[in-house]
């Protein structure tokens, strides 16, 4: 931002703050100040005192000698200045084709004229004003990154915060710094949670003290000055409330992100909101992110290794991983069939030929198998999957290998998948990223993602599926007659080639191929997808994962096969019910980034995600 614009914006902001403070002082504590006069542009009720404060902002900007964009709580989005004001949609103004940017305002004012309105009306000493100023970008929507100046004043005690991007932040003219406290049990935390947020309740119960003062603007700024050790708003704060205080927090050296630890860079809009997690230092912030995501990480001291055993590429690569783990002081256990295959390969007289052939057919792992060490007694580390007792399981293969593995493990062991199969949607990384990612994970820098499973009940048996259950006829090209109940209500009856009950994890697998929607794994739902139904009105639908789904076969004399994750097949007959509920047991994945799902969708589905696959040969 040009220095001339900084000076102008600072002058206008201070004029606004002084004028609003002087005028609303006449209305503090008065009953009529709280009268609701309209619904604001952001969809919330507007009090009389809010209108008074905002009218001052409008009046000051309107009489300036140049135009500005204004985003304000009650009136919404305007172009204002030179004696005029015009309602506008800033996004449309900035993204319109053939826009002449030289004609548009150079600055965007984001103003919450009175934050803590209820406090002001009741004379509770926690209310103030927030003014942020952003530079108007060319060719794109303005975001929080474009905010260059921030000004906040606490009207009850006179404290004045100011920040300039890249230059610093000040409280009452003095440089301020955030808290260095790193122990959750010692912190003072402010903010707002949502109902039934169990993880957040755990955080608050652990913290030394919790404050809810009713002003996001002021409380978030307190993180920058060390008055609070941390602040969070899990409801979602309006961008106009956090635009100035976010800049203050960052310029003071504190940390502010969303609830997944990702940078806040939301667009500047009256309707935009962001979940906020701020802390005085990086170490405290990481702890809070882990707790609210129910992602408290354990030290990884022992790792299990599982691999395809019909593919030399996977088998040989597992040796490289085993060697890497030993060198990094990690104990291991090797799935029994892999341990036997490795021991057999170690003694195979054709080993050199196998290595040479694998390098030719799989050049992507050539550099990793040049110097493999076979001086390990692999059988010594052998363990059956249902006896695995480790902190993490590395699985080498594709989604099929991963699904087979997790279905046989009896403990909730976090899974780290390395894609040596075809699509590898559930796996975490590709071959080339393996050792960089493992170094990161061993250091404790990882996320735990918990995926929902289906629990399938049939007669007195229980089965589990991470992706989906497919119900189909024994005979090719024969239809089945289904009745579908959700929570004991019949929702559909139809004939079809088959039926899929899918979790969000399975929404990118068979479910998607059959016409079902892609479902974010964080969504609490199951998808019911008829396969080629003989009824035009039958379409896939999503039900709550708290519901019980019952499927009944109505055609006498026809058997059906239901298949869990392509691994386990069972038979069902006429009028027999198959019941589906959410399993209490979840599947845990180790992720190196919280931005996993949508990146995977783009990477894996844009071209079918296919890669070559080789089986063992002699």
Q: By C-alpha distance, which of 364, 374, 303, 320 is closest to 342?
A: 374
Contact between 268 and 235 under an 8 Å Cβ cutoff? The reply is no
Contact between 293 and 591 under an 8 Å Cβ cutoff? The reply is no
Contact between 476 and 515 under an 8 Å Cβ cutoff? The reply is no
Helix (H, G, I), strand (E, B) or coil at 287: helix
Helix (H, G, I), strand (E, B) or coil at 144: helix
Contact between 277 and 229 under an 8 Å Cβ cutoff? The reply is no
Contact between 286 and 261 under an 8 Å Cβ cutoff? The reply is yes
| Catalytic-labelled residue, pool 241, 399, 545, 565 | 399
Where do we find the tokens 């548009």? Answer: 104
Contact between 144 and 150 under an 8 Å Cβ cutoff? The reply is no
Beta bridge partners of 112: 130
- Token pair belonging to 445: 């820098």
Q: Degrees (nearest 5) of the Cα angle 557, 560, 564?
A: 165
Name the DSSP letter for residue 267.
Answer: B
Beta bridge partners of 414: none
Contact between 179 and 229 under an 8 Å Cβ cutoff? The reply is yes
Contact between 88 and 175 under an 8 Å Cβ cutoff? The reply is no
Where do we find the tokens 């169990």? Answer: 198
Helix (H, G, I), strand (E, B) or coil at 591: strand
Is residue 399 annotated as part of the catalytic site, yes or no?
Answer: yes
Which segments within 255-307 are labelled E, that is strand? Answer: 255-257, 273-279, 302-307
**DSSP assignments along 94-137, one per residue:** HHSTT--GGGS-SEEEEEEEEE-HHHHHTT-S--EEEEEEEEPP
Contact between 560 and 572 under an 8 Å Cβ cutoff? The reply is yes
How many whole angstroms separate alpha carbon 326 and alpha carbon 115?
57
Contact between 90 and 69 under an 8 Å Cβ cutoff? The reply is yes
How many whole angstroms separate alpha carbon 168 and alpha carbon 181?
21
Contact between 212 and 124 under an 8 Å Cβ cutoff? The reply is no
- Token pair belonging to 118: 């209820």
Q: By C-alpha distance, which of 297, 293, 298 is closest to 203?
A: 293
Distance from the Cα of residue 593 to its chain's centroid? 9
Name the DSSP letter for residue 78.
Answer: E
**Residue 57 backbone phi and psi in degrees, to 5:** -60, -45
Say how many C-beta atoms besides its own lie within 10 A of residue 546's C-beta: 11
How many whole angstroms separate alpha carbon 151 and alpha carbon 403?
54
Task: Give me the active site residues, please.
Answer: 399
């Amino acid at each position: 931002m040009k220095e001339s614009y900084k000076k102008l914006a600072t002058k206008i902001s201070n004029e606004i703050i002084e004028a609003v403070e002087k005028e609303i002082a006449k209305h503090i504590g008065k009953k009529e100040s709280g009268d609701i006069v309209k619904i604001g542009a952001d969809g919330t009720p507007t009090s009389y005192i809010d209108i008074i404060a905002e009218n001052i902002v409008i009046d000051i900007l309107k009489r300036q000698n140049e135009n500005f964009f204004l985003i304000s709580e009650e009136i919404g989005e305007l172009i204002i200045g030179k004696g005029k004001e015009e309602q506008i949609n800033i996004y449309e103004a900035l993204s319109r084709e053939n826009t002449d940017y030289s004609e548009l305002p150079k600055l965007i004012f984001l103003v919450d004229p009175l934050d803590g309105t209820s406090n002001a009306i009741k004379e509770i000493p926690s209310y103030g004003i927030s003014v942020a100023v952003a530079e108007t970008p060319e060719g794109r929507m303005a975001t929080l990154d474009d905010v260059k100046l921030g000004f906040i004043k606490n009207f009850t005690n006179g404290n004045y915060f100011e920040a300039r991007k890249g230059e610093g932040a000040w409280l009452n003219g003095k440089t301020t710094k955030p808290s260095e406290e790193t122990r959750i049990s010692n912190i003072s935390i402010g903010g707002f949670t949502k109902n039934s947020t169990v993880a957040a309740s755990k955080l608050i119960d652990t913290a030394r003290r919790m404050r809810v003062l009713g002003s996001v603007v002021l409380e978030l700024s307190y993180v920058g000055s060390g008055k609070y050790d941390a602040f969070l708003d899990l409801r979602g704060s309006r961008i106009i409330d956090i635009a100035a205080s976010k800049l203050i927090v960052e310029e003071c050296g504190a940390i502010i992100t969303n609830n997944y630890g990702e940078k806040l860079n939301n667009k500047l809009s009256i309707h935009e909101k962001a979940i906020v997690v701020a802390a005085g230092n990086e170490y405290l912030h990481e702890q809070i992110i882990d707790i609210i995501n129910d992602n408290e990480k354990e030290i990884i001291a022992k790792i299990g290794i599982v691999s395809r055993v019909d593919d030399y590429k996977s088998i040989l690569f597992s040796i490289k991983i085993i060697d890497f783990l030993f060198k990094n002081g990690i104990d291991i256990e090797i799935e029994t069939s892999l341990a036997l295959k490795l021991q057999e390969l170690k003694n195979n007289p054709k080993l050199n030929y196998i290595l040479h052939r694998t390098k030719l057919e799989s050049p992507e792992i050539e550099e990793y198998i040049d110097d493999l060490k076979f001086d390990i007694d692999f059988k010594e580390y052998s363990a059956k999957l249902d006896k695995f007792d480790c902190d993490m399981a590395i699985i080498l293969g594709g989604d099929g290998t991963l699904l087979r593995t997790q279905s046989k493990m009896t403990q909730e062991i976090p899974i780290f998948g390395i894609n040596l199969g075809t699509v590898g949607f559930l796996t975490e990384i590709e071959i080339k990223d393996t050792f960089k990612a493992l170094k990161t994970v061993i250091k404790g820098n990882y996320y735990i993602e918990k995926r929902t499973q289906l629990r399938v009940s049939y007669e007195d048996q229980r089965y589990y599926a991470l992706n989906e259950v497919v119900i189909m006829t024994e005979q090719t090209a024969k239809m089945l007659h289904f009745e579908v109940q959700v929570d004991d209500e019949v929702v559909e009856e139809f004939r079809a080639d088959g039926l899929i009950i899918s979790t969000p994890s399975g929404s990118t697998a068979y479910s998607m191929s059959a016409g079902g929607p892609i479902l974010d794994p964080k969504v609490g739902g199951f998808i019911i997808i008829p396969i080629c139904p003989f009824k035009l009105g039958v379409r896939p639908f999503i039900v709550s994962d708290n519901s019980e789904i019952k499927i009944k076969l109505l055609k006498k004399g026809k058997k059906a096969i239901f298949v869990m994750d392509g691994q386990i097949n069972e038979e069902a007959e006429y009028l027999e019910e198959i019941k589906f509920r959410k399993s209490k047991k979840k599947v845990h994945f180790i992720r190196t980034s919280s931005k996993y799902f949508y990146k995977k969708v783009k990477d894996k589905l844009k071209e079918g995600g296919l890669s070559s696959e080789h089986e063992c040969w002699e």
